[in-house]
Amino acid sequence: MATAEVRRATVDDAERVARLLHDFNTEFDTDSPGPVVLAERLRRLLAGTQTFALLGGEPAVGIALVTLRPNIWYPGPVALLDEMYVAPRARGAGIGGAIVERLVTDCRRDGVSAIEINVDEGDVDAQRFYERHGFHGSDPETDERAYYFFQEL
């Protein structure tokens, strides 16, 4: 099977990125401010250097939204995969895998030291997906589980 086309989103893709992110939240019954608000925010974020998006498929049916931040423990920035989504009709075609491969390739090229991903405890499919692509839910040296804590302000 041919590898799915994956490209970096530009500011001009803000509406498409916003629609995919909104669809993601809608599918999983999570609040969304709506595609119009998301597109407005994305135009600002994608114009900068700390946020990028990868689009998979043509037309795009998959999205990875990534933010970069400095970290004292690494020489390069740390990337957080904020969101990853493939539309239901396109799942199983390798688009998600192609997006993750491109993410790792781009991060290596750009001097990113680590990629972090938060996955819900019950989302075992996503956990297996990321593990297949080389990510760990525990420290490889100690086997200690990693946890994600947050507080909305």
Q: What is the set of domains in the chain, with CATH numbers?
A: 6-117 (3.40.630.30)
- Note the pLDDT tens digit of each residue in 23-82: 999 999 999 999 999 999 999 999 999 999 999 999 999 999 999 999 999 999 999 999
Phi, psi of 19 (to 5 degrees): -60, -45
Predicted local confidence at residue 3, as pLDDT: 64
- Note the pLDDT tens digit of each residue in 54-71: 999 999 999 999 999 999
d(CA 63, CA 58): 12
52 contacts 6 by C-beta, under 8 angstroms: no
d(CA 65, CA 85): 9
Mean pLDDT of the 110-137 span: 94
Encoded amino acid at 103, one letter: L
